[in-house]
Structure 1
Amino acid sequence: MTAEPAHRWGSTLDSVVVYAQGAVCHRLARGSVPPDGRVRVTGLPRSLDPGSLRARVLGTPGVRVTEARVEVEAKPLATGSPDELRREFERLRDAYAAAEGRRDRQLSLIEEVSALHPVPPARKREDPHRRTPVDAWLELADFVDERLTGLHTRLVELEEALGSVEHELTVAADRLARTSTDAPSAHVETTVCAVLTLDGTGDAEVELELEYGVPGAVWVPTYRLTHRQGDGSGRLVLRASVAQRTGEDWTGVRIALATADLRRRTDLPKLRSIRIGRRQPAPAPSGWREPPAGLADLFSGYEAAGPGPATTAAPAAVGAAPGPV
């Protein structure tokens, strides 16, 4: 038995408070509360801090949020079957070969037309001088120039088409190389949503406010002082430059600025005890301490063994002078 999927609500970004490091975003979502009270609010950025998610109901008494958590949904991108990708790759390969052939033929035509130039017939020594047909030579030059202009224009079009087909062929070859029949695709699409549990009147339309923190946002103040010579006063203008890489679009969103640090430590301080009365000097440390328990039984085994064997004195060395030991 599987649980029914939660109702999906869309959300819109309403306001942002930018701190010295990081920002707090507020989103609004509206919808009807399902009978089971489970709602899935979409549109959240992937950079949000899961521990900072807060949710509350606006303007609807009797309905409250009892649980809020962040979930990440992932699904593989539609890449097609390997057979389809292989057929697409072969089609693009043939198209690339055809485009390359058209480009090469155009280059051959350009070389042929560029090689056109007037060649006078060979003159024998006894032949008289002939007048050069200047008009014919100029007409040939004009024809070659006009023809080359059209050929080069067509060559640019063919090279652009060849580059486009080459790019598509490269993409198709990469997709075909990364596709496998026994392993899922590594390219997945992830979306972040907030799963909420509402407690209250069923089938009622409510408005929710979601609050969460995101890193990657900062603002910098800029001051501009204008003063005219001879005036006794000036004008100081404060401007703020906001930069963010949170993955959200802040266009048309109300933005507030704060100089506090969003990620400052909030540990509770340790309060020392306070004693009222006359201060007593601290006692001096003593080196005496009570012996440990069981010290009397430490040598019981030695005493139970009795006296040790008698030992004989070693003989004095020959020729040693008597004297005290």
Structure 2
Amino acid sequence: MTAGTAPTWASALESVVVYAQGALCRRVARGTVPADGRVRVKGLPRSLDPHSVRARVLSAPGVRVTEARAEAEAEVVDADAVDEARREVDRLVDAYKAVEARRERQLKRIEEVAGLRPVPPGRKRDDPHRRTPVDAWLELADFVDERLTGLHATLRELEEELRRADHELDVAHDRLERAGSDAPRSGVASSYCAVLTLAGAGEAQGGSEVEVEIEYGVPGALWVPTYRLAHRQGEDSGRLVLRASVAQRSGEDWTGVRIAFATADLRRRTDLPRLRSVRIGRGQPAPAPSGWREPPAGLTDLFSGYDTAGPGPQTEPAAGAVMAGGAMAGGLAYDAPPPPPPAPSALP
């Protein structure tokens, strides 16, 4: 079975870890392992780093991943994709306007009910004073409160529906923009898939389903922290709220995906530190330095040339110089050395 005929598994994005620069995405794919153990997992974005693809088996302990690599493949672009995306945008625009109109009507109902006030009947000048019907006023207040509670609950549902419609409309607009500008003129678009080679127990490969996790990095993502401090005047404490604003252009939809944040840089190299040994015990004073030290290397060979040269040459007096009486004629006077003492005579 070649790579082109290997079975294809669908994948779903499970979690994303957003770093200071870049993000680490995790996808999960499920399927049956063929006899040769080669499968292809689709759904990887075009912006991923091919050298960052990793895979591991979540289920089936007897199965392991022996090879995982990203492989580029070409897909034929549908000529009607732009028209279909445009029709989807028009449909979502109509749906958004319908939900917005319902929300406006609900706000008007809330305003009308909140404006209900008890109005006493008119009194003529000659009519005696009448007591205020307190029970009627309380019944009206209960009615208004109960009615407003139901109206506000419906309003919250409409606002949530409007938020979802707005998100779907933004996604459709982005899809239309990418379909209109990113579509190649040749009609062929490139994408990535993960080619995996699985090996392990034969019974696990025979027909049971295997769950595989694929991890890869994308460069086009970042997050920015936002801090909000709430404090009431006169109180000694406050509330600090940390929020994160995420921006990404990975080509994937992160809606409904678990997102975690890290302050490190995804592309920064990290090595294990080298720990030095530490001796724990009682401190000892440093020994005093001694005056003796080792002779330098090669000291014995320093005078080897002098010893092999032999005695020096004898110097002769200059011609015309006469030695006499402790003086040198024509030269400088000097004191002659005393004669040596006589040798001791032998005793008879």
TM (norm. structure 1) is 0.49
TM (norm. structure 2) is 0.46
